[in-house]
Structure 1
Amino acid sequence: MVETYASGPFSAEQPTEAQRLRMLERFRDPDTFAILESLPVKESWRCLEIGAGTGSVTRWLADRCSHVVAADLDVRHLEPAATVSVLETDITAHSFPTASFDLIHARAVMCHLPARDEVVARALDWLAPGGWFVVEDIYTLPVGSSPYPAMNAYAKAAFESATARGADMQWGTRLPGIMAQLGYVDVHVETKPRMIGLGGLADDLWRMNLRQAGPHLIAKGLFTPEALDECLALIDDPAFVDVRYIGISVWARKAG
């Protein structure tokens, strides 16, 4: 059986996945909301949230726009409302009518989709003229970039596992050029290195990622229990600091 995101270490079946998603939302929401607030959001806007998770961005949009479609592979953590439609679907296989939305947003999802380039192309058709597509993704640093051997071992295992299921954890830097070639205009890019070892949500989220993904990678023979223990011990070490990935956000609009 070919592994997919839905059957991997961050599937909805993982007992701590809802907790991890809420932690991710608390960590990323301030940056997300700052980008969305920079756009000319109108009450009349129709929005699509790709990979809605537990719904924090959906709720933010619903408070400001006329309607939001919250789409995800698993919608157990999402609640429909007067201005929110919940859609359980694989976005790579789903289709919307032309000019359905004024804003499309996707966070921490596009790099995991084997057909990510095709979704970016189809999203341009789903947008109304002048509509915006906001993609927040990551760029994982090359294997070997950490001074900590255990972190390099985890990076190598995670990279191999992601690649096997069709993900590209370094795709984010390609996105601005992809959007420009497709005909998006007003392309904006924002990057932010993500440090761990300073305490707070970043460390909590990384620790949760390790605890969910580590056993999965060990079972596949890509990682070892000793390396997992060492990674977790590093995060708890007051002297530890490391940059593990770069957050990259890209937003652009449809001409017109």
Structure 2
Amino acid sequence: MTQRPATTPYRTGILSNDAPRERDRLESIQGSVDTFTTGILDHLGIQPSWNCLELGAGAGSIAYWLAARCPDGRVVAVDLDTRHLDADRAANLEIQEADITQEDYTPGTFDLIHARYLFCHLRNRDDMVTRAASWLSPGGWLIVEEPYDLPAAHSPFPLIQRILSAYQHTYREHGADMSWARSLPSLLARNALNEVSYSGNLGCMGGLEKDRWAPLIDRAAPALLASGLITDTDLSEFASLLKDPRVIDIPQMTISAWGRRPADARSRR
């Protein structure tokens, strides 16, 4: 079997920015999770002088938020494709187009490193967390947020069972591990981070104004159809189903885990 580059899903696969509606997918994630994310970041006591690294910056909402909170520091927002990022949003914001699996930063550089919905798509995800931890300055925080899929078969709606089963299968086929998030707290602790903690944010499918999943399924539709697990009719019926206010489901949760590098830690590779 040919081994694919770690970033294949982002270059040419299901998460490529060249695909239609990718911006919609990114904005749907931001709308669903940003309040949860910024609440955690606020709890960590961000200081105006901090240097921050946003890995897999996407459409930029968290990078912009950090730039506003750290006016005397800087925020480096890195992504494989930066077309959705605006460098003019803040004077202390640096946009960097790079493959983080190949990029390296000076150990001990950043007071805060944040990544969301990124590592689960990378082949050497555990090693990448280890590398990111080494980039922290003493006393710096690493925050990793990843999706955790709930079993498709447990949905109370047969059609959603089929849709989610196809969705989860397709992401697995593209190299994603949507159960890896469960290991995050232990992984941070094994990388010698202290004050490890975690929290979760439940997703919502349906429920009309609460739904953020329609753009995700729309974005993935070509790949889902190509899998042969669902049909155009399934997708049409799914769109209609979501208009019913009685249809509310929990397809996934976001697990956020964070840990702090000891204040007396020495830089290491």
TM-score (norm 2): 0.88
Query: How has the CA–CA distance of structure 1 residues 64 and 241 changed in structure 2, closer, same or farther, with 3 Å as cutoff?
Result: closer
Counterpart of 2:69 in structure 1 is 64
Counterpart of 2:113 in structure 1 is 104
Could you tell me the percent identity over the aligned residues? 40
Q: Answer yes or no: is the 8 Å Cα contact 1:72–1:89 preserved in 2.
A: yes
State whether structure 2 residue 27 is matched by structure 1 residue 18.
no
**Distance in 1 between residues matched to 2:237 and 2:13, nearest whole Å:** 23
Q: Write the letter of the residue equivalent to 1:69.
A: V
Counterpart of 1:48 in structure 2 is 53
Counterpart of 2:182 in structure 1 is 173
Counterpart of 1:215 in structure 2 is 222
Task: Tell me which moved more, 1-10 or 149-158.
Answer: 1-10
Gaps of 5+ in 2: 264-269
What SS does structure 2 have at the residue aligned with 1:180? helix
> Structure 2 residue aligned with 1:190, among 199, 204, 211?
199
**Distance in 2 between residues matched to 1:89 and 1:181, nearest whole Å:** 27
1:94-133 matched pairs, under 5 angstroms = 94-133=103-142
Q: Write the letter of the residue equivalent to 2:243.
A: D
**Distance in 2 between residues matched to 1:197 and 1:32, nearest whole Å:** 22
* Structure 1 position 152, deviation (Å): 1.7
**Distance in 2 between residues matched to 1:44 and 1:192, nearest whole Å:** 29
* Structure 1 position 31, deviation (Å): 1.2
- Residues 121-154 of structure 1, C-alpha deviation per residue, up to 9 Å, x if partnerless? 0011100111001112111012311122222222
Task: Tell me which moved more, 6-15 or 100-109.
Answer: 6-15
State whether structure 2 residue 145 is matched by structure 1 residue 144.
no
- Residues 192-232 of structure 1, C-alpha deviation per residue, up to 9 Å, x if partnerless? 322322222x41x2111111112222123233222222222
Task: Tell me which moved more, 186-195 or 1-10.
Answer: 1-10
Q: Answer yes or no: is the 8 Å Cα contact 1:214–1:223 preserved in 2.
A: no
What SS does structure 1 have at the residue aligned with 2:25? helix
* Structure 1 position 76, deviation (Å): 0.7
Q: Answer yes or no: is the 8 Å Cα contact 2:108–2:138 preserved in 1.
A: yes
* Structure 1 position 84, deviation (Å): 1.2
What SS does structure 1 have at the residue aligned with 2:241? helix
TM-score (norm 1): 0.92
**Distance in 2 between residues matched to 1:143 and 1:196, nearest whole Å:** 12
Q: Answer yes or no: is the 8 Å Cα contact 2:108–2:134 preserved in 1.
A: yes
Counterpart of 1:93 in structure 2 is 102
Counterpart of 1:230 in structure 2 is 237
**Distance in 2 between residues matched to 1:27 and 1:148, nearest whole Å:** 22
Q: Answer yes or no: is the 8 Å Cα contact 1:150–1:228 preserved in 2.
A: no
How many residues align? The count is 254
Counterpart of 1:27 in structure 2 is 32
> Structure 2 residue aligned with 1:255, among 239, 257, 262?
262
* Structure 1 position 15, deviation (Å): 2.7
Task: Tell me which moved more, 150-159 or 65-74.
Answer: 150-159
Q: Answer yes or no: is the 8 Å Cα contact 2:14–2:174 preserved in 1.
A: no
Q: Write the letter of the residue equivalent to 2:147.
A: I
- Residues 177-202 of structure 1, C-alpha deviation per residue, up to 9 Å, x if partnerless? 111122111111111322322222x4
* Structure 1 position 79, deviation (Å): 2.2
